[in-house]
Chains A and B, each alone.
Chain A
Amino acid sequence: MADNEEDSLPAVEVPENEDQAGDAPSESDAPQSLEPISSDTNLGPSDQSQTVANKDLAKIDVYLKATGNAPIMKRKKWTVSQDQHIGWIAEFIKKYLKLDPNERLFLYINQTFAPAPDQTVKNLYDCYGIDGKLVIHYCKSHAWG
């Protein structure tokens, strides 16, 4: 399942104007990540990545927030294809955090319920998106319910 890591990564794109775009997290960066919402939220949804209009129509801003005992992701804001499934995002987070493929990861919407793995980002954004983004919490154990 977790074989084609390199192939699947490009489908998640980092907004170009985000600070510290380097992929290798360094220790000095870590404390900043403790802020649940990093300063780049001020840039709003109309950042440079929107200049390629067609491409971005099909993308949705997703914020990934750690909860409970889950490791924090250095980058929280991602743009994801709207047809992408939640199960795919869970796999992506596991690869990004270098978790064991067999380790379980739970995703939550509204800090309330776990979405179905075959649910699309678009459906969730349409129902639970706030301020132009979809917030997903992730956890290594049951957090809510």
Chain B
Amino acid sequence: MANDREVLREIWEGKVPVCFQLDSEEVCELQAPAPYYLMVPRLSYFPLCVDKVRKHFTRHIQKDKQDNEMWLEFNGAPLKWHLPIGVLLDLHAIDIQLPWNITVHFDKFPENAIMHCQNKEVVESYFLACIKESDVLKHRGQVVSSMQKKDHNQLWLGLLNDKFDQFWAINRRLMESSNDDGFKYIPFRCYLSEEKYIQKLVKPVNEEGQRKKLGHLLSEVFPDQEKVVVRTHGITPLPETPLQWLSEHLSYPDNFLHLCLINWSPEVTSK
């Protein structure tokens, strides 16, 4: 069970300043519109916090494009909206200077690179699918399936409306474990890039019943590597961090740990 409430709070309140700019080719006036600045929560998803960005830019583009789906680009590549904002930030940290400059598009949707997201319900069903998957890993899915529809709704609305207490009143049940060993498996994704991540079964305890550390997880994911360093929520947790604690406190609202690889030796990249 998650006890260190101040850690949960701190993680929840993480925000990043973003400067949105309309792609210059899509401006239909002589002068480009002013950029739009926004503080966005790291734990959220872009489609949940860019309504005002859309409103700000649509009147500056061609009329026939104004109903198009908006998409975002950074460093010449589309940003995957279904990754939490903090994960995108950690993945691109080396190239980002704050405020984070993001280009806004309404034209030429990159069909092959990102999923469509016409409305927030698409994010909701993706988010709840992630929660279900994480519970399959943690509790064989028994906690999620014992919940009612209104509980699922409360998790979603807590995230959507940035309500910590509302979210955690339900999420604490997903973070409970029935015995001292912790979860059955630790739900995590370890990103090599925005395109590729590794997910596998890792238990929070070893065969002798001792609690594992983050370092154990990383050596199970990258058996050929010695000094693997990952970033999450903008920090690089120490390899000595207890794995079960990490899962309970540093997971994203989807209940997965999202770990971005920032250091490994080059020979493995050829795999």
Contact = CB atoms under 8 A, between A and B. Distances in A.
Nearest to A145: B132
Contacts of B126: 116
A117 B197 CA distance: 13
A18 B259 CA distance: 41
B137 interface: yes
Interface stretch (B1-9, B98-106, B198-206, B237-245): B198-206
B102 to A, nearest CB: 20
A48 interface: no
A123 B130 contact: no
Contacts of B197: 123
B62 to A, nearest CB: 24
Given A114-B129, A115-B129, 17 more contacts: A87-B115, A110-B136, A112-B141, A113-B130, A113-B133, A113-B136, A114-B125, A116-B126, A116-B129, A116-B130, A120-B196, A123-B198, A123-B199, A126-B199, A127-B200, A145-B128, A145-B129
A10 B185 CA distance: 36
A116 B82 contact: yes
A19 interface: no
B186 to A, nearest CB: 11
Interface of A: 1, 87, 109-110, 112-120, 123, 126-128, 145
A19 to B, nearest CB: 34
Given A117-B115, A118-B80, A127 B137 contact: yes
A126 B111 CA distance: 28
User: Across chains A and B, which 8 residue pairs bring their CB atoms closest together, nearest first?
Assistant: A113-B132, A123-B199, A126-B200, A114-B129, A113-B133, A113-B129, A112-B141, A127-B201
Contacts of B132: 112-113, 145
20 contacts: A1-B111, A110-B136, A112-B133, A112-B136, A112-B141, A113-B129, A113-B141, A115-B133, A116-B82, A116-B126, A117-B115, A118-B115, A118-B195, A119-B199, A123-B198, A123-B200, A126-B200, A127-B201, A145-B128, A145-B132
A126 B141 contact: no
B60 to A, nearest CB: 29
A1 B116 CA distance: 13
A39 B128 CA distance: 36
Nearest to B196: A120
Contacts of B115: 87, 117-118
A28 to B, nearest CB: 38
A127 B141 contact: no
Interface string B191-226: 000011111110000000000000000000000000
A87 B116 CA distance: 12
